[in-house]
Amino acid sequence: MSFTISAIVLYSHDGQTRVLKFQEYGLNIVTGNSKTGKSAIIDIVDYCLGRGSYNVAEGEIRRKVSWFGLHLSKDGDEVFVARDNPGPGVSTGSQVYFQRGKIESYPSVDDISKNTTASSLSTFITQFAGIIENEHRPSSGTRPPLSANIKHAIWLCFQPQGTVATKDQLFHRMNEQQLPQALKDTLPYFLGAVDEEHFRYLAELDELTDRLRLLEAQEGKRQQAIELSRNRIARMVNEGKRLGLIAQDYQAVDDSVFQYLAGIATIDVNAPTIVQDFGETIQNLRAEQSSIQARLSELNQDIRAARTFLSVQTDFSREGNEQLARLKSIGLYDIGEEREIHCPLCESELRTPTPRVEQVTDSLRKVDGLLNAVHRESPHIQEHIGQLSGQIDKLTEELKEVQRELAHAITENENVQAAQDQLVARARYLGKLADFLEIVQPDEGEDDTSERIAEVRILIDGVRQKLNSEETVSRVETFLNLIGQRMTEYSKELDLEHSGSSLRLDIKKLTVVADTEDGPIPLNRMGSGENWVGYHVLAHLALHWWFRRRKRPVPAFLILDQPTQAYYPPDRVDGSLDEIEKDADRLAVQALFRLMHQACGEIERPFQLIVFDHAHLSDDWFESSIVEEWRGENALVPRSWPSD
């Protein structure tokens, strides 16, 4: 059982309230002139049921109303929802008030404040309508799964003025992108072609599918591990051969390799033998080599200095002998004669006196003494150079011997280190081999994953048989046929084109189709607004007849806005049939409302048919169905309310 609308409550900015009450069951008519607020009712109800956008037309309602309230009833359970009017030019509101329980009086505007969110409201209304957890899974996999909720359900409950009289759109908001597909996906659930048992099977299928995916992943990893183990076994065998632990001619051909490697892993690798440590010897030899090299460097510097000194003495001796030879020429003159003011050759008088002979003789004597000293020192220098050369030769031989000993010590040390590394490598290999065998060696107690995968697949096939999509399609077709029969019966009450033909709902194209002798004729190929309105009304009445018969979680109301708009002239006053010129049109209007009244009596409770229209018929059943009449000063929003 789903909910109905008990009342719509409007709040002014100064705290006044306007309550529009509806009868709990049957036909509810609000009749009146244009521009009285009738067409805003659907947008107000849609907004209060959780729609995200606020679509009330700009005008008096946006300026004069502060809050919109909606009183819902369901089998004794009552809910009051209020949402703020965001005002002119704004597309959504942010405040939601929610109250559940027996609603004996409506809260004042001062008592209303935000106590929930729009998303929480939508979730609650979905649950309040009786919509359980559900999911539509497209078989093609091109769209994500879709869960039916209240926004999908109310597309089946509204027929705005622009929809009820169109040939191209049977359901509310189907001119918006992606919404037609959403309705197609959720309609089987609302019709009852898929029930609660179906969704339990879906949950079971999800669980089994997850289990199968896990087992297949485990099996895949096991197969991958087997393949990886083969490669690792080959590497382990080759490494054992390199370390001399496995014979070079051994080949791993079957599972016996695990037993063979297990035997290799038990080999006892002795600790490395204690050998001479060449480190100190090498260090001492390198120190001795450095010392000899330093001494050789010093001796080479000394011998270079001695040779340089000897070379300088030789140059001095040569220069001194040349000067001595020049000075000895002084013996050609008389030493006792003083002629320093006259030139000894030309007897001319000199401005600068020449050195005296005694001075020249003294210089000659000094030069000769120096030359004698040089000649005396040269043999000593030669002897010193020879001694240095001998020391250099001796140290060079000592250096060669030290370098030979150092190279030998390094070679021996490398051999010992290689032997130690070999032992360490073997020990590491055996440890790694033991770990490898523990990981990859087959476990005899392991479950057979392949058998468990086969068992789960059998269970999945069983569940899928219960979720047979063909059976679901068959159930949908059956239900649509029954709804089509009801549509055909309703059409006999109206004078429509193709009336009495076999009618049906085309769920793929979301339209009405009349099956005639000339072939199927969809709604968009049927002429005149009278036909479009009539088929809209009878199609939705038939759908709600089915929803209530099957107790489906679709709100138990249908709102029609201006279904007779095609018949009345623009200058209508009181909505009487007399305002319609053609007798056929007057009969059509009367037949249309009579069908509504008749259908309300046939559709199981709870069901409300709420109609906003210009018409005001004189029939008693029509008069008793009127909840309010908006003419003159009467309207949805009182004229006296102040604007914000």
Domain ranges of the chain: 279-424
pLDDT for residue 396 is more than 70: yes
Residue 551's pLDDT is 93
pTM of the model: 0.62
Tokens of 191: 């019709």
Share of the chain above pLDDT 70, in %: 76
Q: Chain-wide mean pLDDT for the chain?
A: 81
3-state secondary structure of 305: helix
Sequence-distant (6+) residues with CB within 8 A of 391 are: 299
C-alpha angle with apex 482: 479 to 488, nearest 5 degrees? 140
**Residue type for position 288:** E
Please tell me the class of the 279-424 domain. mainly alpha
Q: How far apart, in Å, are the Cα atoms of 97 and each of 94, 151, 481?
A: 10, 19, 42
Q: How far apart are the first and last CA of the chain?
A: 40
Residue of higher predicted confidence among 270 and 17: 17
Choose from 103-107, 140-144, 472-476, 494-498 the range with maximum mean pLDDT.
103-107
pLDDT tens digits, 291-309: 888 888 888 887 787 777 6
pLDDT class of 445 with cuts at 50, 70, 90 = very low
Residue of higher predicted confidence among 576 and 216: 216
3-state secondary structure of 79: strand
Residue 609 near residue 596 (C-beta atoms within 8 A): yes
- State how far the Cα of 329 lies from the Cα of 333, in Å rounded to an integer: 9
Tokens of 443: 């476990």
Residue 365's pLDDT is 62
The H or E element spanning position 423 is helix 357-440
pLDDT class of 313 with cuts at 50, 70, 90 = low
What is the arithmetic mean of pLDDT over 241-264? Answer: 74
Instruction: Provide the 8-state DSSP code for 497.
Output: T
- State how far the Cα of 204 lies from the Cα of 463, in Å rounded to an integer: 8
What is the arithmetic mean of pLDDT over 137-158? Answer: 76
pLDDT for residue 336 is more than 50: no
pLDDT class of 265 with cuts at 50, 70, 90 = confident
pLDDT for residue 249 is more than 90: no
- State how far the Cα of 16 lies from the Cα of 69, in Å rounded to an integer: 13
Lowest-confidence region among 98-112, 499-513, 562-576: 562-576
- State how far the Cα of 24 lies from the Cα of 145, in Å rounded to an integer: 36
- State how far the Cα of 153 lies from the Cα of 131, in Å rounded to an integer: 9
Q: How far apart, in Å, are the Cα atoms of 514 and each of 265, 505, 523?
A: 85, 9, 8
Q: Report the DSSP pairing between strands 519-522 and 511-516.
A: antiparallel
CB count within 10 Å of CB 509 equals: 14
